[in-house]
Structure 1
Amino acid sequence: MKKVWKKLAAAGMAAALGATALTGCSGGGSTNEQPAESGAETTKEPIEITFWHVYSENFGAPVIKEMVEEFNNTHDDIKVKEVYNPDMYPGLMQNLQAEVAAGNPPSICMIGYNYIKYFAANFNYISPQDLVDQYVPEDKDYLSTTFLDNVLSLAQVDGEQIGLPYCISAPILCYNPDLFEQAGLDPEKGPESWAEVQEYAKQITEKTGEYGFYMQEYADNWAVQGLLESNGASMLQDDKAAFATPEGVEAYQILADMVLKDKSALHITADEGIQAFCNGKVGIACISSAKIGTVTQAAQFDVKGAAFPGFEGKEKKLPTGGNFLPITAQTEEEQKAAWEFIKFVMQPEWLAKWTENTGYLPPRQEVKEEEGLKAYIEENQMLKVAFDEMEDLQPWAAYPGDMGTQAEQLLADTRDKILDGSQTPEEALKEAQDTLNKMLEEQ
């Protein structure tokens, strides 16, 4: 099989030229042989590769640095440089556009599942199986023996493997049992339905004066997707947006009523909302399982967890958060080096450490049987909740072509219009759906 290469689209190139580029982040591999003095053997420099990620010093980066250091210490022929990209996936995508336009792409990058179609249409990469078939035939069965089919599919577009799934997160509830007690609620039982979430939130606010609920708000639609689709709406159906249905409006109205009518829920950024929860100012928070470590370490109380709520008589459909790792290296030597590093970080011991430190679920099923992680899951009630939700996980809606970043921003803007009261859920969802479907027709 030949390499899979995609061309940076004209629209992506225009955006790239206007984006702020990272400096000093060369992804180019190096096989330079240093000139030897007469009679001496030539020496071969190690291949240098860059690994772009989105994790800061207070979330994930220490483990990444530890992995990179251990890899570099055990591989004389390859040197990895980790590069942090602020603003999570949108920030990395902007930087990637800029560096590709400058002819300076990374070797491996961390792409959110919601950007997979946009990435596949606009950037150069080599499919993992193609790389193995060409350069590492001894690994020909690595993908099929390491990952379950449904997990591999998270990093596929139309059946083509774009990269390897790495981080997997599920939306969960965490709650403050102290506020539950003060409000007259059972501190050992979280809400199970969205009707109960609204009821509990209102009671917490009325009895304690604190906010009852917060749903994380990043520059994406991840958490809201779980709310709408669990009530029967669909972010994408047969390549069309289909969320402005009575079911979608009904689900969004619950969140809007808590913010605007009951005054029991907050509408602020994710960092602010999670901090408010940790400070005891919010009773229930809907967050990513990837924030379990952050919340349990920062909270001033014993945090408890509960499954993402559902709607009576309807199937839960939870979006899979997280990211996959495509190889964007351009030379054979750099691609092979990138493959070696990816296999290294996919080892069960490193995936277990990553899960313990972040709350992300591992892409390899057997990792949860690692002795240390197994005990950790039993001790960490919130993480056990997240593992139990894996059977309800669905793909994170990814919009095709050049509209990936535009779609996420449009949906984030729609959320703001609904939660600040400038538009009703019915008005805002219909407007967003019509806009997205027009964009989809133009693809």
Structure 2
Amino acid sequence: MKHTSKFLVASLVALSGSTALATTAAQAETISFILCGDQIFPSQERAIADWEEANPDYPVDVQLVGWAQCQDRATQLAIAGDPVGLAYVGSRTVKQYALNDLIVEIPMTEEEQASYHNYVPETVTFEGTQWGVPVAFSTKALYWNKDLYEEAGLDPDTPPKTWEEKIAFAKQITENTDAAGYGVVAKTMDNTMHQFLHWVYSNNGQVIDADGNIVLNSPENLEALTALRDIVPYGEEGPTAYEQNEVRAIWLDGGVAMIEAMASAGNLAEEAGMNWGVAPLPQGPSAEGPGTLLITDSLVVFKGTGYEDKAIEFAKFLTQPEYQWPYEQENGLTPLRPSEEVEQFVSENPEWAPLIDGIEHGGPEPLFTDYIGLQNVMIEMVQSVVTGQAEPEAALEQAAAELEQYK
């Protein structure tokens, strides 16, 4: 799943208390909708057409904005007092939007919450209510190159189930082939934090608990960061130079045997003619079952348009299963909801099962008041351990202390 650009933290802090947040009371007839990307997908076109037929007084004006500018554009308009009705954002930002009084609550009924996979509603929940409608969902699985496994003397059809096996397999591959065993993601990018959170959630860890306590420096997370350190010698050289898509490119080129990635990795491997496999993320010693980071993007409704209720109604309309499932198929996304159609799809496409198996014991992106602050602390922690500048326990303690200012 693609993600929008950095949130305008400084702007929000500077303007959150100013007259720039003044709202308009006038009723608007057109629902303005900032959508990230360069196209409207067929499922979205159908949903919008059906909405406008049923709601002729509330047509939808879709404003396509490139991924790099999309979220910033919605934020700038809201801060300037000229908000759009609806926007596509990374769910990790909803807490900050809410605290700056830029968006409205979008409470879910118990039935609505129960319709989603585990923890999906939690990705948009702050102070007991929901602040967005999930629209895109990403999970990760382990992908491996079967030919490199065989070359290293490993069974090409038997992936690692535990961290101990993953490290041992990576070592054997590194020592017996010209490839690295495992793709380490440690560049100064948001997905460095995301990749570390896969280790956290495949070992029953957390960053912040339900009561708002920082628990990054837990025994489970110490096991996670230590395991990451231990696999670095069997990764690609200079991992701080690579983000996840760059590591995936090395994997596709045969330079790395194992990566952790979303469904698109399998599609690309097929196109490249790779002999590949996919399995749930290997589990840590404290795991209760396969886990993964659960990332969502969401639709948020901004304050000040005068048609907030209709924008909420449209957001829920756009993401109902009739349109959402086709949209997920068009984009290669993990399904937000379980259904008979999803079960049938997985039975016909078993490579999708590992991406769904990790949901039960997975966890959402941590919601902080300053997401960029969280992200930077986590990246610096990972990089300090990956480069050998800090030991895992000391790095966790320092990062946990720094996170207190951003929760």
TM-score (norm 2): 0.80
In structure 2, relative to structure 1, the CA distance for the partners of 1:213 and 1:123 (3 Å cut) is farther
Per-residue deviation, residues 293-332 of structure 1 (Å, max 9, x unmatched): 6544554314321101112353245331122222125334
Quick one: which amino acid aligns to residue 134 of structure 2?
Answer: P
**Aligned residue in 1 for 2:45:** 69
Q: Does 1:219 align with 2:197?
A: no
* Structure 1 portions without partners, runs of 5+: 1-7, 17-27, 33-45, 131-139
Quick one: which amino acid aligns to residue 161 of structure 1?
Answer: Q
Work out the CA distance in 2 between the residues paired with 1:244 and 1:127: 32
Per-residue deviation, residues 321-362 of structure 1 (Å, max 9, x unmatched): 1222221253344641x3454234323243222332334233
**Aligned residue in 1 for 2:30:** 47
Quick one: which amino acid aligns to residue 312 of structure 1?
Answer: P
Of 345, 348, 351 in structure 2, the residue corresponding to residue 376 of structure 1 is 345
Work out the CA distance in 2 between the residues paired with 1:407 and 1:9: 12
* Structure 2 portions without partners, runs of 5+: 1-7, 17-23
**Aligned residue in 2 for 1:258:** 231
Of 279, 301, 312 in structure 1, the residue corresponding to residue 285 of structure 2 is 312
Q: Which has the higher contact order (CA 8 A, sep 6+)?
A: 2
Q: Does 1:235 align with 2:202?
A: no
Quick one: which amino acid aligns to residue 14 of structure 1?
Answer: A
Report SS of the residue matched to 2:359: helix
- On the 8 A contact 2:120/2:296 being kept in 1, the answer is no
Aligned pairs (5 A) from 1:4-19: 12-14=12-14
In structure 2, relative to structure 1, the CA distance for the partners of 1:148 and 1:263 (3 Å cut) is closer
Q: Give the share of equivalent positions with the same residue, in percent.
A: 23
Of 419, 428, 431 in structure 1, the residue corresponding to residue 386 of structure 2 is 419
Shift of 1:219: 0.9
Report SS of the residue matched to 1:234: coil
In structure 2, relative to structure 1, the CA distance for the partners of 1:106 and 1:189 (3 Å cut) is farther
- On the 8 A contact 2:236/2:256 being kept in 1, the answer is no
**Aligned residue in 2 for 1:270:** 244
User: What is the aligned length?
Assistant: 383
Work out the CA distance in 2 between the residues paired with 1:199 and 1:191: 9
Of 296, 300, 303 in structure 2, the residue corresponding to residue 326 of structure 1 is 300
Per-residue deviation, residues 109-137 of structure 1 (Å, max 9, x unmatched): 2333333322221242222349xxxxxxx
Which moved further from structure 2: 416-425 or 174-183? 416-425
Report SS of the residue matched to 2:285: coil
- On the 8 A contact 1:329/1:335 being kept in 2, the answer is no
Work out the CA distance in 1 between the residues paired with 2:15 and 2:178: 46
Which moved further from structure 2: 344-353 or 180-189? 344-353
Report SS of the residue matched to 1:390: coil
- On the 8 A contact 1:277/1:285 being kept in 2, the answer is yes
Per-residue deviation, residues 22-51 of structure 1 (Å, max 9, x unmatched): xxxxxx99978xxxxxxxxxxxxx614113
TM-score (norm 1): 0.74
Work out the CA distance in 2 between the residues paired with 1:205 and 1:396: 32
Quick one: which amino acid aligns to residue 46 of structure 2?
Answer: E
Report SS of the residue matched to 1:241: coil
In structure 2, relative to structure 1, the CA distance for the partners of 1:67 and 1:30 (3 Å cut) is farther
Work out the CA distance in 2 between the residues paired with 1:184 and 1:349: 47
Work out the CA distance in 1 between the residues paired with 2:113 and 2:297: 19
- On the 8 A contact 1:173/1:286 being kept in 2, the answer is yes
**Aligned residue in 2 for 1:405:** 372
Q: Does 1:345 align with 2:318?
A: yes
Work out the CA distance in 2 between the residues paired with 1:29 and 1:350: 32
- On the 8 A contact 2:202/2:281 being kept in 1, the answer is no
Per-residue deviation, residues 157-216 of structure 1 (Å, max 9, x unmatched): 121121222323222111111211211211212110111111111112222211211255
Work out the CA distance in 1 between the residues paired with 2:312 and 2:285: 46
Q: Does 1:279 align with 2:262?
A: no
- On the 8 A contact 2:292/2:361 being kept in 1, the answer is yes
Work out the CA distance in 2 between the residues paired with 1:208 and 1:307: 24
Report SS of the residue matched to 1:196: helix
Q: Does 1:102 align with 2:85?
A: no
Quick one: which amino acid aligns to residue 70 of structure 1?
Answer: R
Quick one: which amino acid aligns to residue 360 of structure 1?
Answer: L
Report SS of the residue matched to 1:326: strand
Report SS of the residue matched to 2:168: helix
